[in-house]
Structure 1
Amino acid sequence: MDRLDELKQHLVPGKVYRRADLTRWTASVDRDIRKLLDAGELTKLSGGVYMRPKTTSFGRAPASDRDLVEAFLRDKRFLLLTPNAYNALGVGATQLYNETAVYNRKRHGRFRLGNRVYDFRIKPEFPAAATREFLLVDLVNNLKRLAEDETQVLERAKVVARELDPNALRQAAEDYGGVRAKKFFNDVFAEMDAADG
């Protein structure tokens, strides 16, 4: 078995690798990457990010968003979010978006990874998973980016806010809300407190 075959044995189909990951299996990493690219055994997704192709009955499968972003950031701490998630809140958001935001602590900007473009946004705080409370706060934070009627969405957001866990919503607004979102939710909480009082 030659050195290139030995390297290929370590590469799992469908898995994403950084150039640095491959250095543990070969001393001539750049030459071997070039050979694997030429042979179709590796696919370049971005500068220094590669994937071992995985073939299914439908053709070549793309890398998972999670694996791709993790390799690109060299970090597991990020949140993938598509504005389509807001549609499930019941606030009248119905547009479909072909965009994925990546909340993280390292990179900012739009980057093409493979065939997809990701909008990396540096955020000091974000949850490990998007709860309904977080999504409602995030919706208000990002309302200017959406193609929805702001007034209608905000009116529906007030109704939805009353249906959510009030403590979790207060915490989400405090932890993740921008200036506009904090003011909006403070007004909502004041109305709720007045109604309860």
Structure 2
Amino acid sequence: MTYTPDHDEARYPQKALKPGQAYRRADLARWSTSVDRHLKQLVESGTLKKLSGGLYAYPKETVFGPAPAADKEVVSAFLKDDTFLLASPNAYNSLGVGTTQLYDKTVVYNHKRHGDFQLGSRKFAFRVKPRFPKSLTKEFLLIDLVNNVDQLAEAKDEVLKRVVQRAASSDRRRLRRAVREYGNERTKKFFERALRASELHAA
């Protein structure tokens, strides 16, 4: 159903906004006859927080004070698309392969944008990929780690040795399928050797 702003909203868009959401200037222009003036007023009053050129967030009031819009909302507004996957090198720490470092950026796998962007106080690394899952899985994280192992702070050889051990105890069918879909050529060769070795050892 198409949303039609009433007369008051057309003059001033705040009534049409929802706390916790992110908006592009083009979104707000639908509800305002003077969008730049209204944006300036909303930012100066603290109603909206400017994240980057043309991108704004409406903080949600909580008992602890204003809470920023969720990363998912910010990225969706930035991309003008809901097809993406939020990931982080921090998630590798859950795999038990010896990674312990914490990183202050979020990786966004998507089909449209590539580059590093500061959106408000958050850093996002947008990476264009032809395929990625709808949500993070153990198999995807293992493959993503090997894809990006050169960027990690930990000792590469030690981490990869533990990845081989983790692969041996994984569901081989699911892991092989994920490797085919998400691994780069080097990662595919790595898991091919690791899985073959584990199968020979099991035999």
Give the TM-score of the pair, scaled to structure 2. Answer: 0.91
**Gap runs ≥5 in structure 2:** 1-6
1:167 aligns with 2:173: yes
The aligned counterpart of 1:9 is 15
The Cα offsets for residues 21-56 of structure 1, whole Å up to 9 and x where unpaired, read as 112212221221122222222111111111122222
Deviation at 1:193, TM superposition (A): 2.9
Task: Select which of 113, 117, 124 maps to 2:119.
Answer: 113
- Superposed, 1:28-43 pairs within 5 Å as 28-43=34-49
Task: Select which of 182, 188, 195 maps to 2:188.
Answer: 182
1:147 aligns with 2:153: yes
The aligned counterpart of 1:96 is 102
Deviation at 1:4, TM superposition (A): 7.3
Give the TM-score of the pair, scaled to structure 1. Answer: 0.94
Q: Report how many aligned residue pairs link the two structures.
A: 197
Deviation at 1:105, TM superposition (A): 1.1
Deviation at 1:148, TM superposition (A): 0.8
The Cα offsets for residues 94-142 of structure 1, whole Å up to 9 and x where unpaired, read as 1111121111111111101011111111111111111101100111001
Task: Select which of 96, 105, 125 maps to 2:131.
Answer: 125
Root-mean-square deviation (Å): 1.6
Deviation at 1:7, TM superposition (A): 1.9
The 8 Å contact of residues 107 and 125 in structure 2, kept in 1 or not, is answered as yes
Deviation at 1:57, TM superposition (A): 2.1
What letter corresponds to residue 53 of structure 1 in structure 2? P
Call closer, same or farther: CA 1:2–1:128 in 2, change over 3 Å.
closer
What letter corresponds to residue 141 of structure 1 in structure 2? N
**Gap runs ≥5 in structure 1:** none
User: For the residues of structure 2 that align with 1:5 and 1:179, how far apart are their CA atoms?
Assistant: 55
Deviation at 1:5, TM superposition (A): 7.3
The 8 Å contact of residues 4 and 32 in structure 1, kept in 2 or not, is answered as no
The Cα offsets for residues 145-197 of structure 1, whole Å up to 9 and x where unpaired, read as 00011111111101100121111100111111112111100101211332344
Give identity over the alignment, percent: 51
User: For the residues of structure 2 that align with 1:53 and 1:140, how far apart are their CA atoms?
Assistant: 37
SS at match of 1:193: helix
Deviation at 1:16, TM superposition (A): 0.8
Which stretch shows the higher mean deviation, 117-126 or 186-195? Answer: 186-195
The 8 Å contact of residues 11 and 34 in structure 2, kept in 1 or not, is answered as no
TM superposition outliers: structure 1 runs of 4+ over 3 Å = 1-6
SS at match of 2:72: helix
